[in-house]
Structure 1
Amino acid sequence: MGEWSKVYIQNLPTYMQLIEKYFQFAHIEKENTSVELLLDKLTFKLPKGLTKKEIKETGLFPVVSQSKDMIVGYSNAEESAISKDLPLIVYGDHSKIIKFVDFPFVIGADGVKLLKSKKNILPKYFYYSLIGLETDTKNYGRHFSLLKKKYLTIPLSLNKQRKVVKFVEDLKEKEILNKKPYFSLLVEKTIKCLQSNSINGLKLNNELTHQQALLKKLRQQILQEAIEGKLTANWRAANPDVEPASALLERIAAEKAELVKAKKIKKQKPLSPINDEEKPFELPDGWVWCRLREITNIVRGGSPRPAGDLRFYQGNIPFLKVADLTATNATYLNSHTYTIKEAGLHKTRKVPANTLMLTNSGATLGIPKICRFETTFNDGIAAFIYMNNDLFKPYFYYVLSSKTQWFLEEASRGQGQPNLNTDIIGETFIFLPPLPEQKAIVTKVEKLLTLCDQLETQITQNQTHAEALMQAVLHEAFS
């Protein structure tokens, strides 16, 4: 569907509302009456609609339902075919879809109302006028009872009605730009202006959407090049004598052994070696491959039950849920929404300030955050505890951010709600640079992402400006 047709279909209700408003104040012979009083009785008994199984891919008669598609299939049920009183308007009592049908057809499913206009109103004019009506509800319920009570201003001149229909249909086919006025130069000019401005707005929005998509890819590319060491190649050349990450990994292993000995953490199962197939690129000098569980201990939170029980909740101890971590794109978490009481501590887990965390369930899993305050958290969040001081947490925030999509795909392999358990997180392989380079990477990434933020702000401002212009045009048209 081209831009012109897309905008026309989207804006047609607005165009008909403008025409309706014009006739309300125009000095012509007219009638202001309810939709119900404009309806004529059908000369036939309404047949029962077909079931989905009864609708075929081929047949003698097209099947028309309340769906968006004009024709949903075919049927050979001649006894159910409607060929009298044509043309008719098909109105979806549930969907509010309105169709003009001038050919024999069969009704598909229930919930379809057939509307026949009285002789003082052209069927096509009635059809377009109904499109401009609003039924004041978005719920999936019965709408025809509301539609019947709506009022329309109908010019008594059938010729005037024909001119409106001609204008609306010529506009659809783009055959209107250089033609003489049909019924009102001012209204037609306003509608043509709306059509043109809407197309320009659509083009602009499409371009802005494209720019936002490119910006998202750029952010991912920055993170990917960061964790591959490409952003700090010059830094390494200028700092050749930095302690290699292998020495850091050895210290971390020794520290973890001491934690096990002190019974602060449990002895962990041996990790599977990282084979060459898992290594997507060659590491820079001084870096090492490792799995997350080699450098930290990963724990999952918990929730006091039952949820919301005032014996446990609404105290003064912060309690994080997934929504707290996913509310913004910021690196750090500085606030919380929920709290628990001391009585609820035995059902959850408390971690110190500046703990690195990761959402691990639902559609928004794989989102990291560094929490600035001491907190407890539910089982939709994993925390990385006992991280060595030579592990720069903002670097690992970006490492985890680069793996968000991978985490989601990995967790979605099973059935049901995506769930990222601590084993999957622990087995995740990462690239460990020396501490000074971790900090250099973060400095570089933050500088580049700040530029991305500035670009995004500009794109958003342009989009807001385009929408404001469109609203201004609409306001002017209806004022």
Structure 2
Amino acid sequence: MAFDKLDRFIEKKSVKAYSLPNFDSMQVLGVSNQVGIAITDHKKSKDLSKYQLIEEGDFAYNPYRINVGSIGLVPKGVKGLVSPAYVVFKTKNSLLPELLFDFLKSADGLFQIAKYARGTVRKSLRFNDLCQIEMQIPPIDIQRSILRKKESVQVEINEFKTELTHQQTLLKKLRQQILQEAIEGKLTAEWRQQNPDVEPASELLARIQAEKNQLVKDKKIKKQKPLPPINEEEKPFSLPEGWEWCRIWDVAELITSGSRDWAKYYADEGAIFVTMGNLSKDSYRLRMNKVRYVKAPLNSEGSRTKLQEGDLLISITGDVGNLGVIPKGFGEAYINQHTCMLRYMPECRRQYYLEVMRSPFAKWQYNAPQRGIKNSFRLGDVGEMLLPLPPAKEQYVIAEKVKYLTSLCDQLEAQITDNQTHAEQLMQAVLREAFSHSSGQQNQEAVNA
């Protein structure tokens, strides 16, 4: 099948709003590369008179963003206005708009859009440039056949995607269940039966307290205020024999946050300034795609909030409970007032304590005492959080169990992601095959003639 330029199959539209009755009451629409045509509150002007009408079957695109797939086809029953900066057009009767839309969103279509776009710093595709794009366009009856096949396959793909989404939901629940069963001792029940004589957690707590007392005596840390006793009503589940309930302050060396005055220390280079945006949900990996730097002050504020390897960071305003752990070799870094820094005692700087703080039980505690419109979780709340404490040796076993089970979850998630990619590629393959088949069908008809 030969390639045809789009100029024979499309025509530009430009119906201004001022020519329409009651245009001020019409909905304003926008275009994105994710959802296509959508209602938007974003208006470039309060005066809508120069906006353009779009209705069912029309195309609209931003000339400067069509290269990333930002084009929309107006669905049935939709009518509204778009910015005058948009290009609006429609297909003629010889080309089904659905097929053109699929083509322009495909890899081949995006390649041609990039080919015909103009500009140096910021490229744009004007309507005349769009008309130069070439596409294989079969007769209208074959187009309808292609569309029916595409819609049939789309139903199957949508069902497949729904199942994949369901699998992702179940996998997320499984990850949370693994963490919850870990901190309740359920993952290591068999291990405890095989190792009945391990040192109980009560002795670990006593040893940590003695170490903290020495640090206070050496004036390396301040003496903490007495913690409220843990009553039976606070305990949400029973612990295995040898475990103990304690509060975070019982096993912490330092709990603090930054001050509000760090803005004056911002710089283009220097020490890393970790903010809430660098923390993760359901994980303790730092997201460092965006990094801010500071020239730290040479005072107590600088030394107090300077981060160390193994420090656990917790967001305490807004989206409370996002986490991050300072890795080895991270370099000089600091935090602001929206982030809590939790530094465990040396004997407690282990993986188990990190897993506790991202478990469903920890999330429940993050959410329980939040205050104010923006939500807040005070440093005192962090220190008073409950922690189920296993014997020291069992902590290592729990961490290994969680690591192994999490790796299995990672493998399942990778398979789901691959299947999602394959689902997206399937539709493109169906369209390519359909056009190729239609080309072959036309050629055979010409031979028979």
**Bucket of the pairwise TM-score, normalised by the shorter protein:** 0.5 to 0.7
- Among 219, 222, 225, which residue is 1:266 paired with? 222
Q: Which residue of 1 aligns with 2:340?
A: 382
Deviation at 1:271, TM superposition (A): 1.2
Q: Which residue of 1 aligns with 2:147?
A: 191
Instruction: Report the identity percentage.
Output: 35
1:298–1:426 CA contact under 8 A, matched in 2: no
Q: List alignment gaps of at least 5 residues for structure 2.
A: 30-36, 72-79, 98-138, 437-449
Say yes or no: does 1:145 pair with 2:120.
no
Amino acid at match of 2:191: W
Q: For residues 318 and 262 of structure 1, what CA distance do their matches in structure 2 show? A: 30
Deviation at 1:473, TM superposition (A): 4.0
| 3-state DSSP of counterpart to 1:371 | coil
Q: Which residue of 1 aligns with 2:203?
A: 247
Q: Which residue of 2 aligns with 1:201?
A: 157
1:359–1:382 CA contact under 8 A, matched in 2: yes
| 3-state DSSP of counterpart to 2:340 | strand
Deviation at 1:313, TM superposition (A): 6.1
Q: For residues 351 and 115 of structure 1, what CA distance do their matches in structure 2 show? A: 55
Alpha carbons of structure 1 residues 152 and 400: separation in structure 2 relative to 1, 3 Å: closer
Amino acid at match of 1:325: L
Deviation at 1:345, TM superposition (A): 6.0
2:310–2:326 CA contact under 8 A, matched in 1: yes
Alpha carbons of structure 1 residues 236 and 477: separation in structure 2 relative to 1, 3 Å: same
- Among 173, 183, 195, which residue is 1:217 paired with? 173
Q: For residues 345 and 195 of structure 1, what CA distance do their matches in structure 2 show? A: 67
Paired residue total: 364
Q: Which residue of 2 aligns with 1:347?
A: 301
- Among 394, 414, 421, which residue is 1:457 paired with? 414
2:281–2:322 CA contact under 8 A, matched in 1: no
2:315–2:321 CA contact under 8 A, matched in 1: yes
- Among 39, 46, 49, which residue is 2:21 paired with? 46
- Among 346, 356, 367, which residue is 1:409 paired with? 367
- Among 279, 294, 315, which residue is 1:325 paired with? 279
- Among 266, 269, 289, which residue is 1:314 paired with? 269
Q: Which residue of 2 aligns with 1:105?
A: none
1:92–1:111 CA contact under 8 A, matched in 2: no
1:299–1:382 CA contact under 8 A, matched in 2: yes
Amino acid at match of 2:269: Q
Alpha carbons of structure 1 residues 439 and 453: separation in structure 2 relative to 1, 3 Å: same
1:366–1:407 CA contact under 8 A, matched in 2: no
Deviation at 1:241, TM superposition (A): 0.9
Deviations 1:58-106 (A, max 9, x none): xxxxxxx4279xxxxxxxxxxxxxxxxxxxxxx999779xxxxxxxxxx
Q: List alignment gaps of at least 5 residues for structure 1.
A: 1-20, 27-31, 51-64, 69-90, 97-108, 117-125, 166-182
| 3-state DSSP of counterpart to 1:129 | coil
1:34–1:152 CA contact under 8 A, matched in 2: yes
- Among 57, 66, 80, which residue is 1:129 paired with? 57
Q: For residues 362 and 464 of structure 1, what CA distance do their matches in structure 2 show? A: 34
- Among 321, 333, 358, which residue is 1:365 paired with? 321
Deviation at 1:330, TM superposition (A): 5.7
Structure 1 residues 18-57: aligned runs within 5 Å: 33-36=11-14, 46-47=21-22
Deviation at 1:308, TM superposition (A): 6.5
Deviations 1:119-156 (A, max 9, x none): xxxxxxx95432x44455779x9726356x6444545x
Deviation at 1:261, TM superposition (A): 2.4
Deviation at 1:478, TM superposition (A): 8.3
Q: Which residue of 2 aligns with 1:80?
A: none
Deviations 1:28-77 (A, max 9, x none): xxxx65424x89997xx935867xxxxxxxxxxxxxx4279xxxxxxxxx
Say yes or no: does 1:292 pair with 2:292.
no
Q: For residues 17 and 300 of structure 2, what CA distance do their matches in structure 1 show? A: 72
Q: For residues 47 and 319 of structure 1, what CA distance do their matches in structure 2 show? A: 52
Alpha carbons of structure 1 residues 467 and 345: separation in structure 2 relative to 1, 3 Å: farther
Deviation at 1:429, TM superposition (A): 0.6
Deviation at 1:455, TM superposition (A): 0.5
Say yes or no: does 1:440 pair with 2:397.
yes
Deviation at 1:453, TM superposition (A): 0.5
Q: For residues 127 and 352 of structure 1, what CA distance do their matches in structure 2 show? A: 59
Deviation at 1:351, TM superposition (A): 3.7
| 3-state DSSP of counterpart to 2:187 | coil
| 3-state DSSP of counterpart to 2:220 | coil
2:253–2:345 CA contact under 8 A, matched in 1: yes
Amino acid at match of 1:145: P
Q: For residues 271 and 40 of structure 1, what CA distance do their matches in structure 2 show? A: 67
Amino acid at match of 1:241: D
2:279–2:322 CA contact under 8 A, matched in 1: no
| 3-state DSSP of counterpart to 2:372 | coil
Cα RMSD between the aligned structures? Answer: 4.2
2:52–2:81 CA contact under 8 A, matched in 1: no
> TM-score if structure 1 supplies the norm length?
0.64
Q: Which residue of 1 aligns with 2:423?
A: 466
